[in-house]
Each structure stands twice: as C-alpha cells, then as structure tokens.
Amino acid sequence: MDNLIQVIPVFNEDELYELNKFVDENLSFTRSTTFNGPETKIDPGRTSTECALLENDDITKIIHTKINLALDEYKRRILYINPSYNKHPLPGADSTTSWREDIRIIQYIEGQEYGFHHDQGTIQSRSEYHRQISVILYLTDDFEGGETEFIHKKIKPPKGQAIIFPSNWCYLHRGNPVLKGKKRIIVTWYYVDDIQT
C-alpha cells in the first residue's frame, strides 16, 4: 500500500515565494478543528491554525490548477504500478467525476501537531465520509520535526512538493510536532462519484 503514497512536485521556488508572500500579507488564521458527528470541535490532538481560501480568488484558482496537474501525475504513477487502479475511485479514472473540498492553509509553530487520524469521516451523512484522495502540500521546509508520519513511514518533502494518498482508514497519518520553526502546508481532499460500469 505504500506505493499509493506519492510525493509529487507542485510549485517551483518563485511560485512558492509569491504564494507565501500572499499568505503573510493577506490571510489570518484561527484554531483548527476536527469533525465530530454533525459538528466540528476543538480537539486537543490538533493544535494547528488554519484558514480556508475563497473559491473565486485568483490564488485559489492557481493552486487548484497546480494540484490538478499533480493529480494527473499521481494517476500516471499508480497506473504504471498497476493498470487496474483505473477502475478505482480516483480523480480522472475511467467514467468518474471528481471535485474537491475547499483549499486550506494550515500552520504549525513549535510544539503544535495533529495526532494520528485518517481523512475520511465515519458518518455517512457528512461529506467527509466520501473523501477519496488527500493532498498535503508543503509550502515551507525550514523547520525541525513536523513530518507527516504514516504507520511505517515518515515523510518530510521539500517545500513545493505534495504528499498524495488515499483518504481512507488504511492510511492513518499524523503531523508530528514541530520542534523548531514554522510549518506551513496546503491541504485539500478530493471526492469521486461512483464509477459507472
């Protein structure tokens, strides 16, 4: 299953500079929450701050386009591993329609973390239940700690690269505590309609 966890380049150095400058100059952050049944809540296991980007902002459109290109590469890589993955629910697979949740920017400073979790919700009536693909895009890498840790693997990609993987319970992961500096990431999740056979 590790081969479904891929690290893929998304932004170059100049693009990252402009993106981080935009974040620093225009966005404000609030405490991150988790979903709990029909509501969201503050969770002591998730101590980061975040903000959701507005869909119509130019910056959101740029990020969306770049992540879609990364998803194309993700699909190419996993189909190379096993062509039958084209029959699985992933963006761009045969006879599927996909869309994503809002794009969120998450920040962790020293001591902040997000404990082990998976990205699919457990309540069918919530949209999170239907998440299929998770994207964690690192905007910074000049911090200590803060790796994305799966059960058997820790990943800290260079800034500008995204970890893309299935959202389901088989892919428990956590954001390890930041030991020094500031970790900034983009996260979003993709949904896929049932495959038409």
Q: Domain range spanning residue 108?
A: 2-28+41-192
Is the alpha carbon torsion for 122, 166, 104, 33 positive or negative?
positive
- Amino acid 131: pLDDT: 83
In a domain, 98, yes or no: yes
List the one residue out of 163, 145, 187 whose CA is nearest residue 34.
Answer: 187
2 and 153 Cβ atoms separated by less than 8 Å: yes
In a domain, 13, yes or no: yes
- Amino acid 18: pLDDT: 96
In a domain, 197, yes or no: no
First to last CA, the chain: 25
In a domain, 15, yes or no: yes
In a domain, 100, yes or no: yes
Report the domain count for the chain: 1
Half-sphere exposure at residue 37, Cβ-oriented, CA atoms within 13 angstroms: 0
- Amino acid 91: pLDDT: 62
- Amino acid 123: pLDDT: 64
Is the alpha carbon torsion for 55, 92, 135, 190 positive or negative?
positive
In a domain, 33, yes or no: no
Q: What CATH number is given to the structural domain containing 107? A: 2.60.120.620
Work out whether strand 34-36 and strand 30-31 pair parallel, antiparallel, or are unpaired: unpaired
- Amino acid 197: pLDDT: 45
In a domain, 35, yes or no: no
In a domain, 23, yes or no: yes
Q: What is the CA radius of gyration of the chain?
A: 16
Number of helical H runs and strand E runs in the chain = 2, 16
Q: Residue 194, SS3? A: coil
Low-confidence ranges of the chain (pLDDT < 50): 195-197
- Any idea which residue has 């803060």 for tokens? 146
